[in-house]
Amino acid sequence: MNPRKSYRFHTQVIHAGQSPQDWQGATLPPIFQTASHLHPTAEGLSQTFAGQAPGYIYMRMTNPTNRVLEEKLSALEGGQGAVVTSSGMAAISNTCMALLRAGDELVAGASLFLSTYLLFTNIFPRYGITARLVESTDSQAIEKAINSKTRFVYLETIGNPKMDIPDLARVAEIAHQRGVPLVVDNTLATPYLCRPLELGADVVLHSTTKYLSGHGDVVGGVIIDGGNFPWPEERFPDFQPFVEQKGALAFLDKVWREHHVSFGTTQAPMHSYLTVIGLDTLALRMERHVDNALKVARYLRGRPEVTWVNYPGLEDHPSHNVALKQFAGRGFGGMLTFGLNDQEACFRFIDNLRLIYHLANLGDCKSLVIHPYSSQYISFDEPTKQKLSITPDMIRLSVGIEAVEDICEDLGRALDSLSK
Ligand SMILES: *Cc1c(COP(=O)(O)O)cnc(C)c1O
């Protein structure tokens, strides 16, 4: 066993996947900025292509810098292997495409990240694929939606931006009873708060763009295989060659060999390098994110201009108890939403912020706001916005790691401007 596996999370984020002895003593992974790798013999390259010998071939397939990040993220989630991808959406679309064929179905929580929602409801139907969307917190509805055509259940640890939190252990149990795997987008929780594989999930995905890299400097994604799902032949006949060849890593091999390579969703090695540096401080950053977010949620709740606050850390939040159990008391995430009177108030509030950045991203160490209704969701029709809880009075706030007093003062100043 790798002795590093026994280290605690705060140590693993820094040391997992590190091998300075292979890097001429360098404490950070070299950036292998090369499209291709030399092979001394024809026989050797043939064996590498056949998967019978280790080695790197071509950057679209594998890269040594990317491999370091893959090992690190797989260790942090307790997985058996990982593939990093060019974006979070590449991780999501590759995973789904590897699991689906024309005529198949999937069951997903309804409060999905918007590009995932569009993929499931707009693009998949063109290929004869049906996504059944149900409330992610309603385990019974998930159970009912699974049928003989279902190939997987898909959930987000914390719905973005609805902030609803499904009971992953319960849903994993239901999915497995019905013979299908559970895929979890763990972007908003990160392995600091939640390790879905330990709760029974089978595949974990991330947008590494957010908390994992933490500095708003890269776009990237990762697919992590838990290696425990048996891929029964009856429902997954197309998986059998991979099960025979790769055993526990059947899914990872399929998604890598068929989809990652064919769709060309390569992570730039420079992005992996920056993400490795970002991960060094993940545990520290998350401690501060969750601490600040709870204080900010309480502050906002005390302000008369704020009509509602949606944060799982507040005791009356519908997902509070699930979050307490599932996130092991470590906190409730760094993102929240809140209401002002109307869109006009939201615009005026945003225009009066000085410290907090107004932009489309989250999970940065800097505090960020956006008015989703008029920006990311501008092209969605009204009924869909309502279904996704995207209302004109809603502000989304990704709470950063600045001094919480400064964050609250900035929010306070912008709220003051509403009564002027
Ligand atoms: C941002 C995000 C994604 C998409 O990631 P990209 O890196 O932007 O492609 C997927 N899921 C969640 C929950 C996200 O927040």
pLDDT string in tens for the chain (420-residue length): 354 568 999 999 999 999 999 999 999 999 999 999 999 999 999 999 988 899 999 999 999 999 999 999 999 999 999 999 999 999 999 999 999 999 999 999 998 999 999 999 999 999 999 999 999 999 999 999 999 999 999 999 999 899 999 999 999 999 999 999 999 999 999 999 999 999 999 999 999 999 999 999 999 999 999 999 999 999 999 999 999 999 999 999 999 999 999 999 999 999 999 999 999 999 999 999 999 999 999 999 999 999 999 999 999 999 999 999 999 899 999 999 999 999 999 999 999 999 999 999 999 999 999 999 999 999 999 999 998 999 999 999 999 999 999 999 999 999 999 987
User: Which structural domains are found in the chain, ordered by start?
Assistant: 9-279 (3.40.640.10), 283-419 (3.90.1150.10)
What's the confidence (pLDDT) of residue 121? 96
User: What is the greatest pairwise CA distance in the chain?
Assistant: 77
What's the confidence (pLDDT) of residue 3? 47
- Ligand 1 pocket test, candidate residues 86, 92, 93, 113, most atoms within 8 A of CB: 113
Q: Which two tokens stand for residue 236?
A: 């997954």
- Residue 219, ligand 1, Cβ within 6 A: yes
Q: How far apart are the first and last CA of the chain?
A: 64
Distance from the CA of 27 to the center of ligand 1, in angstroms? 29
Q: Is the dihedral of CA 167, 81, 331, 340 positive or negative?
A: negative
Distance CA 140, CA 143 (A): 5
**Which residue is associated with the tokens 């109307």?**
342
Is residue 231 within 8 Å of 250, Cβ to Cβ? Answer: yes
Q: Which amino acid is at 215?
A: H
What's the confidence (pLDDT) of residue 4? 55
Distance from the CA of 364 to the center of ligand 1, in angstroms? 13
Burial 1-37 (b: 16+ CB within 10 A, else e): eeeeeeeeeeebbbebbbeeeeeeeeeebebbeeeeb
**Which residue is associated with the tokens 């995932």?**
116
Q: Which two tokens stand for residue 277?
A: 């540096």
Distance from the CA of 88 to the center of ligand 1, in angstroms? 5
Distance CA 45, CA 255 (A): 22
Instruction: Give the pairing of strands 203-207 and 182-185.
Output: parallel
Q: Is the dihedral of CA 331, 332, 334, 340 positive or negative?
A: negative
Distance CA 129, CA 116 (A): 14
Distance from the CA of 245 to the center of ligand 1, in angstroms? 32
- Residue 100, ligand 1, Cβ within 6 A: no
Distance from the CA of 269 to the center of ligand 1, in angstroms? 19
- Residue 210, ligand 1, Cβ within 6 A: yes
- Residue 221, ligand 1, Cβ within 6 A: yes
What's the confidence (pLDDT) of residue 5? 65
- Residue 398, ligand 1, Cβ within 6 A: no
Atom of ligand 1 nearest to the CA of 220: 7
Q: Name every residue whose Cβ is closer than 8 Å to that of residue 336 and which is 6 or more positions away in sequence.
A: 163, 293, 296, 297, 300, 309, 310, 311, 396, 397, 399
- Residue 254, ligand 1, Cβ within 6 A: no
Atom of ligand 1 nearest to the CA of 221: 7
Could you check whether the bond before residue 161 is cis, i.e. omega within 30 degrees of 0?
A: yes
- Residue 156, ligand 1, Cβ within 6 A: yes
Instruction: Determine the distance from the C-alpha atom of residue 411 to the mean position of all C-alpha atoms in its chain, rounded to a whole number.
Output: 27
Atom of ligand 1 nearest to the CA of 219: 7
Inter-CA distances, 90 with 11, 96, 98, 283, Å: 29, 10, 12, 25
- Residue 137, ligand 1, Cβ within 6 A: no
Q: What is the dihedral of CA 311, 316, 320, 325, to 10 degrees?
A: 150
- Residue 160, ligand 1, Cβ within 6 A: yes
Distance CA 145, CA 153 (A): 10
